[in-house]
Amino acid sequence: KCSSLGSAASSEDTDSPPSTADRSGVPEACEKQPSLKPAKEHVIPKDCDQVLENKVLEMLPGSQHVSTAVVKTISLKEKFPGENIVSQSFSSHSDLIPGVYEGGLKIWECTFDLMTYFTKAKVKFAGQKVLDLGCGSGLLGITASKGGAREVHFQDYNGLVIDEVTLPNVVANVPLQGDSNGINEPAGKRQRKSEVAQETCKCRLFSGEWAEFCKLVLSEKLFVKYDLILTSETIYNPDYYSTLHETLLRLLSRNGRVLLASKAHYFGVGGGVHLFQKFVEEKGVFETRTLEVC
């Protein structure tokens, strides 16, 4: 496995199987352009406890990362009667998602590589507005919020991934703005909560295809572009490169950076670091740099 991280500086303001043996989880259907699945925001419910119902959480091993809880199992029983509890490796259940499934139910290897890079390179998140693009589990955005990001947006193609995996992971890890202010709780606990409140990060979650996501957020009058876009294992399919490039271009702030982690080549689909880097260089808008090869 080889991962490369590209750093790109915008000059304008404005998945294939990893290997034949590891083909699981990235959809066969990604060989064709996904339809323009409309984007929508998934509002974080007021009662966050409800979000974690029927979820089994487990701490991520590895001391180099910020301690992070991840959804280990979800019950798809209610959504898909007849199915049993599904474990974190949802790969064989991609057929449970209607329409095109882009692989977000499983945590892909480069997510861990990028998190290791964050630690090693002491990537700064404090005060930044961050987008976890093609987030799946959302671990990159969660790490950013734990690192002091002022706002983190999560985007995944599939709404079910956002509802069943990203949202529970965010709720389990991030003290959210709008969490109960503990008005009915003992004073000591209230004070602890108000200390936490100072560290809250505004999180928003979105599903839908990239162009549609752009349209949705850019339609907001007061939309502020992202200082940092994090993205892992999203360049497997060359058919999506134009849309992805356009998305980065439209959403990244003038001095923003993209940290991208990907395998060198995705057999069967054809994308990978080298092809994407060439694509970006030919467009001539971003500057790219390989930060680490694993």
Binding residues vs ligand SAM (CB under 6 A): 15, 26, 34, 102-104, 107-108, 110-111, 134-137, 156-157, 209-210, 232-234, 240, 243
For residues 6 and 280, the answer to whether their CB atoms sit within 8 Å is yes
Q: How far is the CB of 27 from ligand SAM (least distance, A)?
A: 9
For ligand SAM, the closer CB: 197 or 216: 216
Site of tokens 């507005």:
129
For residues 33 and 272, the answer to whether their CB atoms sit within 8 Å is no
For ligand SAM, the closer CB: 35 or 181: 35
For ligand SAM, the closer CB: 135 or 167: 135
CA distances from residue 53 to 74, 120, 215 in whole angstroms, order as listed: 9, 35, 33
Q: How far is the CB of 229 from ligand SAM (least distance, A)?
A: 12
> Phi first, then psi: what are they for 18, rounded to 5°?
-55, -40
For ligand SAM, the closer CB: 139 or 174: 139
Q: How far is the CB of 193 from ligand SAM (least distance, A)?
A: 31
For ligand SAM, the closer CB: 240 or 286: 240
Q: How far is the CB of 103 from ligand SAM (least distance, A)?
A: 3
76: nearest Cα among 85, 63, 67: 85
Q: How far is the CB of 224 from ligand SAM (least distance, A)?
A: 21
Q: How far is the CB of 192 from ligand SAM (least distance, A)?
A: 33
For ligand SAM, the closer CB: 14 or 89: 89
213: nearest Cα among 131, 143, 140, 110: 131
Element spanning 231, H or E: strand 226-232
Q: How far is the CB of 19 from ligand SAM (least distance, A)?
A: 13
160: nearest Cα among 275, 40, 243: 40
Two tokens at 56? 């089994």
For ligand SAM, the closer CB: 64 or 180: 64
The DSSP-derived string for 152-213 is EEEEES-HHHIIIIIHHHHHHH--BTTS---TTS-HHHHHHHHHHHTT-BEEEEEES-HHHH
Give the count of beta carbons closer than 10 Å to the beta carbon of residue 233: 29
For residues 233 and 111, the answer to whether their CB atoms sit within 8 Å is yes
